[in-house]
Structure formats: C-alpha cells, structure tokens
Structure 1
C-alpha cells in the first residue's frame, strides 16, 4: 500500500510552504476590519474555520484508496466554495485556493483525475463569480466594464489553472523518470554484483580445475613412482633408483606448476608448442611413468585458438590421469580427428571399467565435462565392468577455428 504524502515525505515541500503563506494571508484578511460594509466579512469565524481545516488537510494527502481520494477532494472543494461565498474580503484569495486544490490533485490523482479536479475548480470559480454579480441595475457603460472584467478574470484564472496543471505534470513526470532511472540503476548495480559474484565463482572453479589438472596430475605420477620405488627398493635397488630419479623430476615439475599457478593463476601447458607436440610429450611421459602403451592418431587440419588447445589438452590429460589411477589398463587408444564440421576426441582403454551410475560425479570427470560444454560441445562416457572405458568429446568446428 502507498504511504500517504505527509510533511516528512512530501515530494515538493516548497509547495506546502506556499500553501501556508496563502492561507495565512487569507486568514489575516478575514480578521482585519474594513470600513466599508460591502467588503466586511459576513461570517469571519466560518471563513477562518474553513481555511484552517483546508490547511490542515494539506498535511496528509491520501494516495492509496480512490474513494478516500474523492471524498478528500470533495471536502476541499466544499470548504473553498463556502469560503468564496461567505468570506467577505477573504474571497479575494479564493482563486488561489483552487490553485492549491489543483496542485494537491496532481499529487494524489493520475491524469484523468487531475483534469476532472481542474474542470470542477474552474466551474465553481465561475459559479462564485456569477453569484457576486450585483443584483441592482447598472449603467450601460458600467455593465460593459463589469462584463469585460468578469470575462478577463475568468480567462486569466482558466489559463492559470492550465499552466499549473501543465507545470505539475511536467515536474511529476520528471520526478517519476528520475525514480525509474534510480530503480533501473539499482537493478543494474545488483545485476552487476551478481555477475561479479558469478564471475568470481567461475574463476574459483577454473583455478580449482587448473590445480587439479596440472598439479594433481604431477603429484599422482609422483606418488606412483614412489610406490614402485618402495616395492623395488629391497629386490632391485638400481631400478628403484631410476624410479626415484623420475619421482624427483615429477616433484620439480609439480613445484614449477605451483609457482606458475601462484604467479599467473593459470598454467599454460602448451608453452608455445602446438597441440600435437604437447600431446606427444604428454603421451611419452604417460607411457614412461605407467608402462601403458598409448596409441595416438592426431589429424588436425585447422589452426585452433590457444584457449581451445588448452581445453583439449586438459581433457586428454585428465583422462590419462584417471586411467593411470583407476583403470589398470595395458593399452590406450587416443584419436583426434575433424569430420563433418566437428572435432572428435576419443580416448579408449582396455582397463577394468566401472559402473556409470555410481562413478560419474568425480571432480575429474566433471572438469572434463565442463571444459567440453564451455566450447559448445558434448561429453560422452561409456563404460562397464570388465569392458574398459571410452570417452568421446564432440565439439562444433565453428567454435574452434582461430
């Protein structure tokens, strides 16, 4: 429900002060005596009471219920009309009271209501003006002057009401535009804040993926090397020594990845190498660390952007990491081809497989799925116990060409 317009929330407080000044002048005019009985107040107490009530009504303007608005306006019109008929010298200011009434109507009504109040005010002004016409006959010249004066006064008052109405509509429209602009700015600020929070969340997820894919891969391989060295330490110290040396290399690489993540929050695995070259290095490292045969077929006819190459490299790296950790495979087939406007990546192993309904929510698989979806592609995984695992990524070619 809309709050009533009061002193503390009045949109144009200077108008309220103007009302008080005009009403005070009207009250003083009614109280002061006049030597001519023609201009003396017939009922000064009634005029003062009406003006006081009319002034107090301006301290609280209804804005919610239409019936209350109509009753409020009708009461104001009645008070002004009575003051104009019986106010004596105070009735000289009653046109200004109608102007105050029109200003109040602009604050509480929409345009149809404002026009109605303006029309009623002008009609009542003419009625009061005709009521004050002398009842005794006047000379022709005096009648002509009186008619001219009456017509001029009515025209000036009508133009004054129209001017006040247009002015108030303009001011209120400008104020409404400012309020809408402020609301739009606030919504925009909240939207920007949500976008910032979303971007921060996505950046955190990206950093988590980068750490998981780079550092996690190196530490996993390092752990395998150390486990193998511990098993061979008593039986074959020389071979265990070679695994320890490889573990040291992996530890150095992991430390380098950490330094790069801290400095740039993103480790670029390609480092000015092509995607095929980076995959060859990854494949050789995978075979040497895990003693698993990796057959690869890479057929790239187009130049891809660095972001796309990095995403493809990370998908392959995460797949090989999962195979080395869980699959117990002896052979892996990697295929990257472009066919029918799409780039296809297929990674298949001959390991033990797993149940898709229970093991597809890990961070590694989710990371690969997110990377594929970020490129507008599809991520598919097929596996079963004893049948190995096959990962397929289908990415539209239009999103990849640099």
Structure 2
C-alpha cells in the first residue's frame, strides 16, 4: 500500500500510470487494485497484514516446538518415525518463515529454491510417515514419493537458471499427484480396517487435499482478477495435518509403552514362575543328593562292619570253638572287635572339626591298643593350618589313618612307630614310620594299598610309601595349605 503525494494530485488528472516490478512471493502482475481514500483502504490492508503475520507466527512456533520434541525423541528412543516427523515439522516452519519475508535477505532465486525445497521435502516425507503409521507398506508408492521429490527439486533448480515456469508447475503437480496417491491409499486402508488413527489422518488428509487443490488453482491456473486476494488455506491446513499425524504417532507410542509395560509384567510373572520351578527342582536334586549320600554311607558302614568287625567275630568264634582255653587270646580278639566297632561309630559323626583334633582323638582312642600290641608310639604332632575340608573329607582322612595303623599292627611286626605332622612354609605334612619287617614296594600292590591311594587322590593328598624288607616302612603325605 502506498499514498500518492498531494502535490501530484490535480483536478484535471484523468489517468495514473503504475510500473510493476514484480512480487517477491509470486510472479509479476496485478490481479486487483484498490484506489481510494487512505482512511478507507488502510484498515483493510492492516487487517490482511495482521492475519498473515499472526498465522505465520503460529505456524512457525508450533512446528518448531514439534520439530525439537520429535528430534529429541528420535535420539532418545532411536525412532525413525519420530525422525521423519521432526524433519517435516522443521521444513514447514522454514517454509512459513521464508514465505513471510517482504524484504529478502538473500537472492531471489535462492529464496524461491528454499521455499520449493521446503514444500517438496515436507510433502514427500509427511506422506511416507503417514503411510508408515497406518501400516501401509507399498514400496512402489513410497518410491514414487522420492522420485517426485527429486523431479521437483530438479525443476526448481532449472527455474533458477532460466527454465520456463511450466517445468516448475509440472514438478509441483507431480509431488501433489504422488502425495494424493499416498492419501488415497490411507483412506482405502481406513475404509477396510477402520481405526481412530487412520480415520483421523484420512480426514485431515482429505481436507488438506481439497483445500490444497483450491489454493493451487488460484495461484497457478485461474485467470480470475481477484485470485491473489483470496485466502490461502495451505499453510494452516498443513499445520492441522501435521498435528493429526503427530497425535496418531504419539498415540501409537503410548500404546507401545503400555504394551511394553504389560509385557514386562507378564515377563516378571513368568520369571517368578520359572524361578519357583527351578527352586523346586533344586530342592528335589538336593534331596536326591542327600539320599544318595545316605545310601553310600550305609554301604560304606556295612562294608566296614563286614570286612572289619565281621571278620574279627568270625575269627573269635573259630578260636572259641577250637581253643576255649586260650582266654588271653580271646580277650585280645574281643578288644580288637570293640576297637573296630568304636572306630566305625566314630566315623559317622566325628567330633573334631580340624585335622589336629582328629589325630589327637585317634591317639587317645587307640594308644591302649598299641600298648597291648607291644608298640611304642612316638608322637610329635603340631597344629595344622586351616583346611577347608567337609565332614565327609575329615571322615575319609580318619579312615586312612586307621587303615595305616591297623596294617602296621597286623602285618608289620613293629615295636616302634614315629608320627611327625604339622605345617611348613609350603604345605601340610604327615609322616608315619615304623621299624617293622617292611615289604617289597615294587611288588604287586594289594587292594588295601589301592584303596589308600584312591582316598588320598580324592582328598588332594600326595601319598608316598617307601618300604624295605627288614628295615621298615615310611608313609609320607602332603597337601596344600
């Protein structure tokens, strides 16, 4: 709007010449001109300016906020749909800001190219996003959006270098046609499988399509004198379409979050159930292990009773039947049987919790037996370092000691036994030496020595037996601290 100077107005003036240089937003030309008093025309002009400015500010602010929120969500949740939505909002905010310029801060060709770029990118990406959130996976239709976008940008560049405007119009029409195809597919999807999301996007897209065609006709096609003065719906209806897509995208995200929360609850219930099953299975295995341990221990006790006490009682019965007058021998055999029985009972629940105590108890219980056999016991045992052995391991260790001394009493014919035990800087040790008849260590090893080596191996003990005929036997044992 401009005012004619008063000095240039005269009563005889009948003609006014106006030279048009072009509009920064559209091609050169005038569609309608109002001439009259400034007081009459100024309010109409200001009303149009205010409407344009406030609508532009609203579009820029809303789209900028949606762009920031969506791009942040795409980084936080790695969502491709949120990334597309943020880019579309950003480009439409850029287009609205560029469109509001009256004095251009950059060359006209660049300004017009940026406007076209914003529109083309927005139209293609918003259609791709709308198809994605409505579960429409037509690859050819999505490819059509990219192809139309490339052609649109190419026509914009060509126009900047002097190509006829018809190519630019053709590029816009191609983008609109591709977008229309996407919107029609969404409407068909909403008709076949209606849901709040695809119905909302379909309605918003339909309104946008109708009003967009109306604006496109006014800008590029019609010859009406007042075409440029008609209200331009596209910026506002696009904003409503963006909001519709954003609401549907947010609803899908909230639905996914609720589904994830429900899945987490179901998963927790299933984990608790599996944990209970595993606990029951573990208890069953533990019970089975205890039963097997009890069975093995019963078998061991029966074997010890049979091999030790049983054979002694058989020998005693034979002695009573053949030589009832040998009272001393019978008493000796009875004492042997009682000692064996006590040793067997002791192995069931040893009172000692360490090796030093076990050796001390063994000496206390069996020293009288050594005296009756005429054997002098030389005992030099120092405390062992702590050994993390179970009760069963302690029992096995005591059985090894008992078997060694039993063999010495029965077979060695010794008069002296030396016991040296304790801990050095490297390991625990135990030496048992006698001055008996000895035996040939290189000869075939009997069952008793095999059992001795087997028990030592199970306990992690390095066992060595050195024996020479007529000299005696030395048994050495070493195990870790």
**Over alpha carbons, which structure has the higher Rg?**
2
Higher relative contact order (CA 8 A, sep 6+): 1
